[in-house]
Amino acid sequence: MILSSAVDDLAAEVRRLNGGQGLPVVFDGVGAHTFDASLASLRTRGHLVLFGAASGAVPPFDPIRLAHGGSLTLIRPSLGDFIADRSELLRRAADVFEWVRSKALEVTVTGRYALSEAAQAHSDLEARRTTGKLLVVPDTAAAADAGDNGQPRAAPVPEAGSRRTGWRTNL
């Protein structure tokens, strides 16, 4: 399940949508603004994967919160540790491309912007007017994909609780 961090009580909404239960794993790319709600959204022995800090770094916290939350675990992975050398990078990249080729991983592009509109793409991202993957393409390619008004086609932001994402895995 994917929820917007704009939901008033994220943990309560997670439990409502999940039959009163917390989740086994939460992937949090926002950081400071969602850390507490992400932690509160976990079930007993749940795992929080903190992979980003879009709203800033998570401030220091007392690890006893993990025990009090039900023997929770927290990990903060870093990409560099998973591509320690060139051979590992190439192997992992080959895996991803194979998943895309076999459709085990589907990439959904929800919007295209002409290179001359790159500033608008950034503005739309910052204002959360987009979801999924966006492409910035040469102006000639974008013109072919433009909507009736000449503007790039971008998917609307899904409602809170939507399962729509830019990546879907069938692994």
- pLDDT greater at residue 45 or residue 170: 45
Q: What is the pTM of this model?
A: 0.65
- pLDDT greater at residue 63 or residue 166: 63
| Residue 135 near residue 100 (C-beta atoms within 8 A) | no
Q: What percent of the chain has pLDDT over 70?
A: 78
Mean local confidence (pLDDT), 14-42: 93
Identify the pLDDT of residue 141. Answer: 65
**Continuous segment of H or E residues that includes residue 136:** strand 133-137
